[in-house]
A and B are shown apart, each in its own frame.
Chain A
Amino acid sequence: MVNLNTVLLISSILFAIGIAGVLVRRNALVILMSIELMLNAANLNFIAFARHSGSVSGQAFALLVMGFAAAEVAVGLALVVALYRKRDTVQVDDINLLKG
């Protein structure tokens, strides 16, 4: 039997690892993957609460989040490829066009 708090703890740690990846890494690809990781942690919470409350709405919404994540990663990777063509880099600290 699964404890709700186990799910919450694991998903919060997963989310924290995702935030750490976004903050710490330079590679834009790894940052995108970390964002996917955070969306997955949210999905885990959705499913756990769906099971806890006895309704399938949470599972349906997790499916929507999954589709949203797919759209987001498609656009994000297209941005990375366009950036590589224009600026010849995917390191986020080389991209400082807006820096004063």
Chain B
Amino acid sequence: MEHQLETIGRNMFAIFGVMALCGAAFMVASKSAVHSVLGFLFAMLCVAGCFLSLDAEFLGMAQILVYAGGIVVLFLFVVMLVELSKFKEKGVFQLQTRSAVIAVIVGGVAFLAAFRNLLFGTASPEALVLRPELAQGLAVAQQNAQAVSRGLFSDFLLPFEILSVILLVALVGAVVLAKTERV
């Protein structure tokens, strides 16, 4: 029992990753928009699990808050506002679906061929090691948040400020775009 738990703990990332892929595939393939949103929610939660298993606790929690708490609700509201039932009969997929799928498959094969040595070569069994100085910083959630904030406010201060301006512009822009014609 303990051994099994240990194995599960060691492969936590792969489990969450495969679940995220399943959620993403369900999102793309499902006919109903609400089902798509639910698949998206599942994929985002599993990606948050991936973040947690990579010792990025703060980002995992931020992922859950931002995506599951904010963006999915926003999507659901828009699905509610936009009446989708009248598009049912027109088909789910684009006309060029076959060529698009072929292009994606060819691209994936080309990617795998180009990075075959990198992904499955001799270097691949090397595990993702944590540097000791970082391991200390990432050990506890609070310390992870401290480490991230140190990076954010020292190396990435200017992008952080620019992002706040972008958020303000997006806020104003969304209101302007979505408001009705009569003011």
A73 touches B44 (CB 8 A): no
Select one of B75, B95, B131, B159 contacting A29, CB under 8 A.
B75
Contact B33 A44, beta carbon cutoff 8 Å = no
Which interface class (under 10, 10 to 19, 20 to 34, 35 or more) fits B?
35 or more
How far in angstroms is the closest Cβ of chain A from B106?
Answer: 11
Instruction: Beyond A29-B37, A57-B156, A60-B148, list 13 extra A-B contacts (CB 8 Å).
Output: A10-B14, A20-B100, A23-B94, A27-B33, A27-B36, A54-B134, A56-B148, A57-B155, A59-B58, A60-B155, A64-B160, A71-B170, A74-B171
A72 to B108, CA, bound (A): 27
* A3-B127, A21-B27, A36-B40 known; A14 vs B20 contact (CB < 8 Å): yes
Taken together as a complex, chains A and B put the C-alpha atoms of A62 and B71 apart, in Å, by 17
Task: Tell me which residues across on chain B come within 8 A of A95, comparing CB atoms.
Answer: none
Residues from chain B with Cβ under 8 Å of A12 in the complex: 108, 111
Given A70-B70, A91-B90, decide whether A61 and B27 contact each other with a Cβ distance below 8 A.
no
The answer to whether A59 and B151 touch across the interface, beta carbons within 8 angstroms, is yes
Tell whether, in the assembled complex, residue B125 and residue A55 are in contact, meaning their CB atoms are under 8 Å apart.
no
Which residue in B10, B82, B101 is a CB contact (below 8 Å) of A20?
B101
A-B contacts counted at CB < 8 A amount to: 247
Evaluate whether A59 and B24 lie within 8 angstroms (CB atoms) in the complex, with A19-B104, A29-B78, A91-B87 already known: no
Residues of B within 8 A of A (CB): 10, 13-14, 17-18, 20-21, 24-25, 27-28, 33, 36-37, 40, 43-44, 47, 50-51, 53-56, 58-59, 62-63, 66-67, 70-71, 74-75, 78-79, 81-82, 84, 87, 90-97, 100-101, 103-104, 107-108, 111, 115, 118-120, 124-131, 133-134, 137, 144, 147-148, 150-152, 155-156, 159-160, 163, 166-167, 169-171, 173-175, 177-178, 180
> How many chain A residues touch B (Cβ–Cβ < 8 Å)?
71
Q: By the criterion CB–CB under 8 Å, are A10 and B54 in contact?
A: no
Residues of A within 8 A of B75 (CB): 29, 32-33, 73, 77
Dominant secondary structure at the A interface: helix
Give the 8 A-B residue pairs with the shortest CB-CB distance, closest first: A54-B131, A71-B170, A60-B151, A10-B17, A78-B177, A23-B100, A78-B174, A78-B178
Q: How far is the CB of B136 from chain A (nearest CB, A)?
A: 11
CA separation between A30 and B134, bound complex, in Å?
38
Q: Which of B62, B79, B148, B177 contacts A75 (CB 8 A)?
A: B177
Find residues 39-60 in chain A having any chain B CB closer than 8 Å to their own CB.
40, 43-44, 47-48, 50-52, 54-57, 59-60
